[in-house]
Structure 1
Amino acid sequence: MEINFTTLIDLVGTFAFAISGIRRASGKQIDWFGAYIIGLVTAIGGGTTRDVLLDVRPFWMVDGKYFLTTGVALLAALLFKYKLFRWGKSLFVFDSIGLGLFTIVGISKSLEAGLPFWVCIAMGAITGSVGGVMRDVLINEVPLLFRKDIYALACIAGGVIYFICNYFNLPTSVTELIAALTVIGCRIIAIKFHIHLPILTSISTQDGDKENKT
């Protein structure tokens, strides 16, 4: 039952991230196949990085449903593009859902590999965020991970909550649900209330300004 639930999370996360990738590709003069590739990379990029680090065969090489799910996402985007793409918050919503669900998948698979909790949290963050980094690089934008947005930190928060729930022996499905909602909630709250980390200013520019003033 737990395996089926994790698989469901994986597929829903794949669909959500694929939609966010396809949505981000729109307006970039990218054709349908290009949009499919962007969606696919967004969906499998983080998990592939995780599996390479875990020294296992990447998940999409042994199961074709991720390619199929991305295809369904592209079809949904094409059929409902006027509703999806005109809704300005659609990218943020799907990206947040994918981020939360994929974080849980990364943690679960790392636990199965027998890794300590801090590595599992890191793997959850990698699974959730690296696909979005690859997406943004492919469409020539600064990745959300490197901006002031709360992104990878939301994954880490969800990972911490996961292991707190695990410490109190909550059912696995409940633990995964609470942790995923934590990631999604952190993203939504951060955006709604404009919560972000300080931006790193240019040290050389500041020094130059001081020299010019003197």
Structure 2
Amino acid sequence: MEVLLLVLDLIGTFVFALSGATAGVRRRLDLFGVLVLSFAAANSGGVVRDLLIGAVPPAAVSDWRYLAAATAAGLITFYRAALIERLRNPVRVFDAAGLALFAVAGAHKALAFGLEPVMAAVLGMLTGIGGGIARDLLLAEVPLVLRAELYALAALAGAAVVVAGSLLQVPLPLTLGLGAGLCFGLRLMAIRHGWRLPIARPPGASPQDVPDA
């Protein structure tokens, strides 16, 4: 199980790093800027998770494999951006994949450190959305989680599946797969169909006055 969780964490790190690096390339950052953005997007959620549950030093700074995964993703994106861009809307696809993997891994790690089920699910959600928030803030954008189609709720749903599976004593690989699949599917369906929570509108504003995500 430890190997499985490490693999999920590293895969999540890699795909979130791809989303950060792709956003950096689109903003025409230099190589250092792209690598910084890839690392921040890949590891911010995990660092916050580990600090909150007392797993210090955080895995992202104590295990060289996290830095290696983020750096590899940044270099691939910087030098082969055209390949990455062939995917339809790659930032959102990679972001959805990273969101799903980090949400389930974060929820399980929180349970392993003794958190109560509800807070474990919330921490799984925070693990998933942390990288995207860091990426957007570094690019001086309103974080995607605050303006886009279902995002945090998708992460919370995936984390809740892991928590429920733990309470029901369902085999961990199954709950991790179901949770990640639910989160990823909800996020992609929300992007495709525009599913979102109600949007705040100033008094007198029309729907056309509210910018799209």
Superposed pair shares fold, TM > 0.5? yes
Q: Deviations over 1:11-63 (max 9, x none)?
A: 10000000000001113131011100001000110111112212331112221
Shifted more, 138-147 versus 68-77: the winner is 68-77
Q: What CA distance in whole angstroms lies between the structure 2 residues aligned with 1:77 and 1:21? A: 9
1:54-112, Cα deviation, whole Å (9 max, x unpaired): 23311122211111111111232134311212434211111111000001111111011
Residue 50 of structure 1 pairs with residue 29 of structure 2: no
How far the C-alpha of 1:166 sits from its partner, in A, is 2.9
Aligned equivalent of 1:99 = 99
The unaligned stretches of length 5 or more in structure 2 are 206-213
Other-structure match for 1:211: none
Structure 2 counterpart of 1:22: 21
1:164 matched to which residue of 2?
Answer: 164
CA contact (8 A) 1:148 1:198 kept: no
- Is 1:176–2:176 an aligned residue pair? yes
Computed over aligned residues only, the root mean square deviation of the Cα atoms, in angstroms, reads 1.5
Shift of 1:183: 0.5
Quote the residue 2:211 is aligned against: none
Q: Equivalent residue of 1:41, what SS? A: helix
State the one-letter code of the partner of 1:63. D
The letter for the 2-side match of 1:45 is S
Given residue 116 of structure 1, which amino acid in structure 2 is its aligned partner?
E
Mean Cα deviation higher: 31-40 or 142-151: 142-151
Q: Which moved more, 1:181-190 or 1:53-62?
A: 53-62
Aligned residue number for residue 126 of structure 1: 126
1:76 matched to 2:76 = yes
Identical columns (%): 32
- Partner residue in 1 for 2:135: 135
In the alignment, the residues of structure 1 paired with residue 119 and residue 182 of structure 2 have an alpha-carbon distance, to the nearest angstrom, of 19
Q: What is the alpha-carbon distance in structure 1 between the residues aligned to residue 182 and residue 138 of structure 2? A: 29
**Where does structure 1 lack aligned partners over 5 or more consecutive residues?**
207-214
Q: Name the larger-Rg structure.
A: 1
Superposed CA offset, 1:99-140 (max 9, x none): 000011111110111110111011101100011101001011
CA shift at 1:194, angstroms? 1.2
* Structure 1 residue ranges (4+ consecutive) displaced by more than 3 angstroms after TM superposition: none
Counterpart CA distance in 1 for 2:159 and 2:76 is: 31
Q: TM-score, normalised by structure 2?
A: 0.90
Q: Does 1:112 align with 2:76?
A: no
Q: Distance in 2 between matches of 1:33 and 1:79?
A: 13
